[in-house]
Amino acid sequence: MKILVLNCGSSSLKYQLFDMTDETVIAKGLVERIGINGSRVKHKRAVGEDIVREGDISDHTEAIKIILGMLTASGTGVLKNLDEISAAGHRVVHGGEKNAASVLVDDAVMKGIEECVYLAPLHNPANLAGIKALQRSLPGIPNVAVFDTAFHQTMPPEAFLYGIPYKYYESNKVRRYSFHGTSHMYVSQRAAEMLGRPIESLKIITCHLGNGSSLTAVDGGRSVDSSLGFGTAPGILMGTRCGDVDSAVVLYLVQSEGGTDRVSDILNKESGLLGVSGVSSDLRDVETAADRGSERAGLAVSMLVRSVKKYIASYAAVMGGVDAIAFTAGIGENSDCVRKGALEGLEFMGVKLDGAKNSSIRGCEAVISAPDSRVKVMVIPTNEELMIARDTLRLTKK
């Protein structure tokens, strides 16, 4: 059974075609600058050279037609015909409170995603455009929506409510949702597999540290707290997002900088590693600048590391212990300095890193704690697309 997974942004589209008999990726790619001059498709196959197509692409429907054409092209295609694709899985950023799991798409589901547009105004419209475009291009196949927020719907009210008047939750569902749920679910399940223990018996802290970052407390396989919120800026310091800031700072900026749009840009696009270091939003650049003596770059890294440490310790407290800490995404998988810094001082909780192992691990699965560490520390590359393909298979097999 072959499944196409789509992840649509407002001007981009990432895709992967899986053969679910062995969960291999047959082809994958990225369409950039949809609806903007200079569109580009980069198409990779399991075997054969990458194919690049340049030329304007007006919308997601045209992008999908081009991808389907590349998948079936004579000579370079990986499919004989489109009938080989049995189903499509779509990443949808916001499912609100109604969607606590992946669902088969029907009219009611589409309406529900539309109702959540006010919660994710940049992402949900693009996700809807992708589903509609695929429905037009491959009308015969089922579509599954996999929500970034779904995994966190198990958080208890004391974790998801803010200390503001309750009526804002009742009337407009103002609450913590958090995101990256598909990644946290994949990584926690994989951690349990690697430890050879049932996930129901484990307390795991998953640290998704990338350009956008979140930590999640996963108790018995269920998310019980997570560091992103109603929006995508709180929690730890990110590439350009501020992480936790006092609400008084936000109010002050609204007054002094003139308006919410400007302050939204400051907090989401000009803050984080970039805002503090003044160098870059990319950790590699910031680490290099710090090594060359930039104090502010060093400070940005220290702030990132300290915020990760604080969340790890607080989530251990929330769960009454921790069995494993798993690092994923660009920073979590690659930066031994951030992993080391974040875990330093947590020996009192039973965390003991194997320094040499930690330094040697980049982008691959590994246990990096010392053999006698009570808490296992792991690196687990995330695979949200595979998780989406698995859910799509499960829901369309029924």
Distance CA 262, CA 269 (A): 10
Nearest to 173 by CA among 74, 271, 99: 99
Can you tell me whether residue 45 is helix, strand or coil? strand
Catalytic sites, residue numbers:
148
Q: Which residue is nearest to ligand AMP (CB)?
A: 330
Smallest distance, Å, CB 60 to ligand AMP?
22
Residue among 2 and 91 whose Cβ is closer to ligand AMP: 91
What token pair was written down for 359?
């330094």
- Extract the runs of DSSP E, i.e. beta strands, from 141-249: 143-147, 203-209, 213-219, 222-226
Judged by CB, which is closer to ligand AMP: 188, or 213? 213
Cβ 364 to ligand AMP, closest distance in Å?
12
* Smallest distance from ligand AMP to CB 335, Å: 4
CB of 377 to ligand AMP, least distance (A): 17
Residue 78 or residue 228: which is nearer to ligand AMP going by CB? 228
Which of residues 286 and 395 has its CB atom nearest to ligand AMP in the complex?
Answer: 286
Q: Which is nearer to ligand AMP, 97 or 285 (CB)?
A: 285
**Alpha carbon separation from 97 to 149, 154, 155, 230, 281 (Å, rounded):** 9, 10, 11, 12, 32
**SS3 assignment, position 294:** coil
Separation in Å, CA 38 to CA 127, 137, 300: 22, 23, 35
Structural contact between residues 138 and 88, judged by C-beta atoms closer than 8 angstroms: yes
- Residue ranges in contact with ligand AMP by CB under 6 A: 210-211, 239, 282-284, 329-331, 334-335, 362
Cβ closer to ligand AMP: 176 or 180?
180
Minimum distance of ligand AMP from residue 119's CB (angstroms): 22
Whole-number Å distance between alpha carbons of 113 and 65: 23
The contacts of residue 308 (CB under 8 Å, 6+ apart) are: 207, 209, 215, 236, 338, 341, 342
Q: CA-CA distance, 197 to 220, in Å (whole number)?
A: 11
Q: Over the Cα atoms of the chain, what is R_g? A: 21
Closest distance to ligand AMP from the beta carbon of 393 (Å): 25
